[in-house]
Amino acid sequence: MSFDRLWADLLPIGRSTDGGGYHRYSWTGADTDARAWFTEAAAARGLDVRTDRNGNLWAWWGAPGPGAVATGSHLDSVPDGGAFDGPLGVVSALAAVDELRARGFVPERPLAVGVFVEEEGARFGVPCLGSRLSTGGIDPDRARSLTDASGVTWAAAMEAAGLDPEGIGPDPGLAESFDVFVELHVEQGRALADTPHAVGVAGSIWPHGRWRMDFTGRADHAGTTRLVDRADPMLPLAHTILAARALAESHDARATVAKAHITPNGTNAIPSLVSAWLDARAADEAALTAVVEGVREAAEKASRDHGVVHTMAAESTTPLVEFSHSLRDRLAATLGERVAEADGPVPILPTGAGHDAGVLSAHVPTAMLYVRNPTGVSHSPHEWADPEDRHAGVRALADVLADLLST
Ligand code: GLV
Ligand code: MN
Ligand code: MN
Ligand code: MN
């Protein structure tokens, strides 16, 4: 299957040389190389590759225009990410085109294979930035002024990569051209691991978001400052992290503090400032609000107790996504044709992971396919899909696209 060759060519791009994971961040050299890989692979298939105003890439099979079926995913990674989150959907989409051609299939509508920029928000903080921009989900001025850890703005980074940041913003042509969008993605937990199913269908995406918390204290000497005289911002942060864990447990939710900046970050100086990011997700909006407001209260109280000033602001929020039931059921029926009766119905899965498909779903009928991940681990080099499941994913996507491109 052509998948293997495509996969092997993409695999080294952005992978750390010490055997760890991927560092493919928007507009960096690794990202530019990955975009060049996609452009070449699509052009080699005779697809017409275009860059939209926000830097997302679209490779067209058939003339670009209305009535199109779209598929694709992203090529950027989280810090030290796995190989599959994003790239599996892009490689599978190109391989599905090959598979459809090998079957002698002639599409009745155009097909667009896409790569969205900055899905992870690993460099500039806001996830699904490419799809948010295209659907009017973020103000272009705010996007232009987002900064990375070194203070480089989105505008400067995009310009350095040869694209015009002044042109970014809502792209009504995208929603008008696409009749349907289908994203294939590696499953990111154990939802399929212990089932006989190599491929499942997305049901919903939990509401989720990211909040920045700043704890401002007072820098001082670690050896001479009496404990009672300190305003140490690490202490309220520690209380806040434990509170987030307890709140997540009581609301059957997820709350994570995985990123923090300590200023000045010296062993023997009490910090003047700690910034930390809360990632929170829950099955419904009420539970999510309860967790986030509970964390805010805990942070405020602990900060007061320690003489520290606390602020907290949302950096991005994504509402509950309930994928189109008719489309979801149609995909499950198509997949079901390859499933033995004894294996039971194709699983329809909720997830706590965010996707561009979730952002698009408010504007275009959207669906997702998940490919089994036997490790159940994601956002880590241990993320995995077995070779035979990768191929099953390509066949499933080709089946689904053949159905959608025929009507
Ligand atoms: C992105 O993959 C996310 O869900 O954090
Ligand atoms: Mn991810
Ligand atoms: Mn992803
Ligand atoms: Mn994601």
pLDDT in tens, 270-324: 999 999 999 999 999 999 999 999 999 999 999 999 999 999 999 999 999 999 9
Q: Residue 84: what pLDDT?
A: 98
Nearest ligand 1 atom to alpha carbon 352: 4
Mean pLDDT of 168-172: 96
The ligand placed nearest to the CA atom of residue 81 is 2
Which ligand is in closest contact with the Cα of 74?
A: 3
For range 22-51, the mean pLDDT: 98
What mean pLDDT comes out for the span 260-275?
A: 98
Answer yes or no: is pLDDT of 86 > 90.
yes
Looking at every residue in the chain, the average pLDDT score rounds to 97
Q: What pTM, to 2 d.p., does this model score?
A: 0.97
Distance from Cα 242 to the centre of ligand 2, integer Å: 25
Element containing residue 273 per DSSP (H, E): strand 273-281
Instruction: Return the SS3 of 73.
Output: strand
Per DSSP (E only), the strands in 365-406 are 366-371
Provide the angle, in degrees to the nearest 10, between the axes of the packed helices 387-405 and 87-102: 60
379 C-alpha vs ligand 2 centroid, how far in Å? 6
Q: Are residues 73 and 202 in contact, defined by beta-carbon separation less than 8 angstroms? A: no
Q: What is the pLDDT of residues 196-232, one digit of tens each?
A: 999 999 999 999 999 999 999 999 999 999 999 999 9
Give phi and psi for 199, each to the nearest 5.
-135, 135
Residues 368-385: b if buried by 16+ CB within 10 A, e if exposed: bbbbbbeebbbbebebbb
* Pocket perturbation via mutation, ligand 1, pick of 88, 132, 355 by most ligand atoms within 8 A of CB: 355
- Using DSSP's 3-state secondary structure scheme, residue 298 falls into helix
Q: What is the pLDDT of residue 17?
A: 86
Instruction: Give the model's pLDDT for residue 20.
Output: 85
Sign (positive or negative) of CA dihedral 116, 119, 121, 127:
positive
Identify the structural domains of the chain with CATH numbers, from first to last: 2-206+320-405 (3.40.630.10), 208-318 (3.30.70.360)
Residue linked to tokens 């209305």: 66
Determine the residue of 120, 281, 370 to mutate for testing ligand 1's pocket, defined as the one with the most ligand atoms within 8 A of the Cβ atom: 120
Tens of pLDDT, residue by residue over 328-385, are 999 999 999 999 999 999 999 999 999 999 999 999 999 999 999 999 999 999 999 9
Span 252-261, mean pLDDT? 98
Q: Write the CA distances from 162 to 60, 109, 149, 159, integer angstroms.
A: 22, 32, 21, 5
Separation of 225 CA from ligand 1 center, angstroms?
Answer: 41
| Ligand with an atom nearest the CA of residue 208 | 1
Contact 113, 42 (CB under 8 A): yes
What's the pLDDT score for residue 218? 98
Residue to substitute in 24, 78, 116 for testing ligand 1 pocket (most ligand atoms within 8 angstroms of CB): 78
Is the separation of the CB atoms in 56 and 134 below 8 Å?
Answer: yes
pLDDT at 19: 74
Q: How far is the CA of 281 from the centre of ligand 2 (A)?
A: 14
CA of 128 from ligand 2 middle (Å) equals 10
- pLDDT class of 18 with cuts at 50, 70, 90: confident
- Is there a contact between 247 and 293 (Cβ–Cβ < 8 Å)? no
Four-CA torsion 256, 261, 266, 271, nearest 10 degrees: -90
DSSP character string of 41-52: HHHHTT-EEEE-
Q: Are 91 and 99 in contact (CB under 8 A)?
A: no
245 CA to centre of ligand 1 in angstroms = 19
Around ion ligand 4, residues with a beta carbon closer than 5 Å are: 354-355
Percentage of the chain surpassing pLDDT 90?
A: 97
- What confidence score (pLDDT) does residue 282 get? 98
Q: Which atom of ligand 1 is nearest to the CA of 127?
A: 1
Q: Which of the ligands is closest to the CA of residue 210? A: 1
CA–CA separation, 158 vs 160, rounded Å? 5
Kindly list the protein residues whose Cβ atom lies closer than 6 A to any atom of ligand 1.
120, 127, 353-354
User: Where does the pLDDT of residue 407 fall: very low under 50, low under 70, confident under 90, or very high at 90 and above?
Assistant: confident
pLDDT, mean of residues 231-251: 98
Cα–Cα nearest to 279, from 266, 288, 268: 288
Ligand 1 atom at minimum distance from 128 CA: 1
pLDDT reported for residue 128? 98
Strands 321-322 and 273-281 come out as unpaired
CA 127 to ligand 2 center in whole angstroms: 9
Averaged pLDDT, 35-59 = 98
State in Å: Cα 119 to ligand 1 middle.
8
